Amino acid sequence: MQQWFIDFAERIDDGDPIYLACEECGTTALPPRSVCPECGTRTFEERSLSETATVTASTTIFSSIPAYADETPYTVVVATFDEGVRLTGQLRDADSVEPGETVTVDAEERDDGWLVTFSPTG
């Protein structure tokens, strides 16, 4: 696992997640991106990301890669933050979620690195 992702996940774990916004055109992105894919400038600045997001899509995985083979079935969620960025993580505290539901982002430290998680809000 790359150090930049460890840093990113630790900020989530600390309750202080971040994202990147292009000073030139406003495009949003996640680290470690340095060039804006829309305007081509290298003017991303780090900003504070909210801790809740909206479910865009989810899937429950029954056949997995070795790292998660003992944990099937589990659900992976892609959620969209108000700031515009999307993030992929595993669902916690529920068996399923519907698109449009609000979830809270968190991070778990595992033997082999960090895992982003989402839990239904409320």
Partner 1 sequence: MTVQIAGVASTEFGEHPDSSTRELFTDAALEALEDASLSVHDIEELYAGNFIGDLTDDQAHVGAMLADYIGAREAASMRTESACASASSAARSGAQAIAAGDADVALVGGVEMMHASGLGEVTDALANAADNEYENEAGLTFPGIYALMAQAYMREFDADQEDLAAVAVKNYENGTTNPIAQRLEETDVENVLDSPPVATPLNLQDCCPITDGASAAVLVSAAYAEEHGLETTVSFEGSGQSSDSLALQDRPDLARTRAAERAADQAYDSAGISPDDVDVVELHDCFTIAEILAIESLGFFERGEGARGAVEGETAVDGRIPVNTSGGLLAKGHPVGATGVAQLVEITKQLEGRHPNQVDDPTVGLTHTVGGSGASCVVNVLRAGGE
Bridge partners (DSSP) listed for residue 16:
none
**Does the footprint of partner 1 cover residue 76 (CB under 8 A)?**
yes
**Does the footprint of partner 1 cover residue 56 (CB under 8 A)?**
yes
29 contact choice in partner 1, Zn ion, none (CB below 5 to 8 Å, kind-dependent): partner 1
32-51 residues in contact with Zn ion (CB under 5 A) are 36, 38-39
Smallest gap from Cβ 71 to partner 1, in A, equals 7
Residues ≥6 apart with Cβ < 8 Å to 73: 60, 61, 62
Q: What is the DSSP letter of 95?
A: S
State how far the Cα of 112 lies from the Cα of 8, in Å rounded to an integer. Answer: 15
Angle at 4 between CA 106 and CA 83, to 5 degrees: 55
Q: Which residues bind partner 1 (CB under 8 A)?
A: 1-2, 4-5, 29-30, 37, 56-69, 71, 73-74, 76, 78, 86-90, 99, 113-116
